[in-house]
Chain A
Amino acid sequence: EPEVTQTPSHQVTQMGQEVILRCVPISNHLYFYWYRQILGQKVEFLVSFYNNEISEKSEIFDDQFSVERPDGSNFTLKIRSTKLEDSAMYFCASSEARAQPQHFGDGTRLSIL
């Protein structure tokens, strides 16, 4: 069964450094998403992406975050200058169309030191 894949599974970064999290969505899906889960808290929506642009974003998704689809398969989340509070599990998801079920990857655990 097709699946969303995320790399790396665990990323450790010094505070203030830039980090890029990578995702390969399911190949025929058109909508892509990033969510995060801070330890002990709910999974929170960050951003959705369609047709090479952001379609929706939450208040969490401020100027330090950006997303990109650099080629036909990858979808990336960049955090420009990481803070301690960015430590979380980051999940990528994709769906065939708007308002269709979202399929999630296994997540990248980001640890900021």
Chain B
Amino acid sequence: GEDVEQSLFLSVREGDSSVINCTYTDSSSTYLYWYKQEPGAGLQLLTYIFSNMDMKQDQRLTVLLNKKDKHLSLRIADTQTGDSAIYFCADQTGANNLFFGTGTRLTVIP
């Protein structure tokens, strides 16, 4: 089955850029997603990219997709303390369900 992997932890200083990486295995991905989960809260859809795109920018967020290497990244510019959360990468294949990574816990140091 599909396997989505992320590193578990990332620490950055406030004001720096954060880059969260994700790899996946399924070649038939349609959309790839980034969700944010704050403590005690649900999964907030941050952004997504269609599989035939290379890049998508949305304010401070930039998503890069390398389909050949099956690599997805999320860059957060000017990271703020409010960005501290767990970030989940998710892959939507030909089936309608999402496959999630383990989540990356981003800690922003003031």
User: Given the complex, which residues of B lie within 8 Å of A56, measured CB to CB?
Assistant: 95-97
Contact A33 B97 (CB under 8 A): yes
Chain B interface, >50% SS class? strand
Q: Does A12 contact B (CB under 8 A)?
A: no
Residue of B nearest to A57 (CB): B97
Give the contacting residue for A104; candidates B35, B96, B97; CB below 8 A.
B35
Q: Give residues of chain B (65-109) contacting chain A, Cβ–Cβ below 8 Å.
A: 88, 90, 92, 95-103
Q: Does A25 contact B (CB under 8 A)?
A: no
Contact A101 B48 (CB under 8 A): yes
Q: Which of B17-25, B39-47, B54-62 contacts A (4 or more CB under 8 A)?
A: B39-47
* Count of inter-chain pairs, beta carbons less than 8 A: 55
Q: Give residues of chain A (42-65) contacting chain B, Cβ–Cβ below 8 Å.
A: 42-45, 48, 55-56, 58
Contact B31 A31 (CB under 8 A): no
User: Given the complex, which residues of B lie within 8 Å of A31, measured CB to CB?
Assistant: 96
Give the contacting residue for B31; candidates A41, A91, A99, A105; CB below 8 A.
A99
Given known A-B contacts A99-B92, A102-B45, A104-B43, A45 and B30 have beta carbons under 8 A apart? no
User: Given the complex, which residues of B lie within 8 Å of A42, measured CB to CB?
Assistant: 4, 100-103
Contact B45 A103 (CB under 8 A): yes
Give the contacting residue for B43; candidates A58, A91, A99; CB below 8 A.
A91
Q: Which residues of A contact B (CB under 8 A)?
A: 4, 6, 31, 33, 35, 41-45, 48, 55-56, 58, 91, 93, 98-99, 101-107
Q: Which residues of B contact A (CB under 8 A)?
A: 4, 30-31, 33, 35, 41-45, 48, 88, 90, 92, 95-103
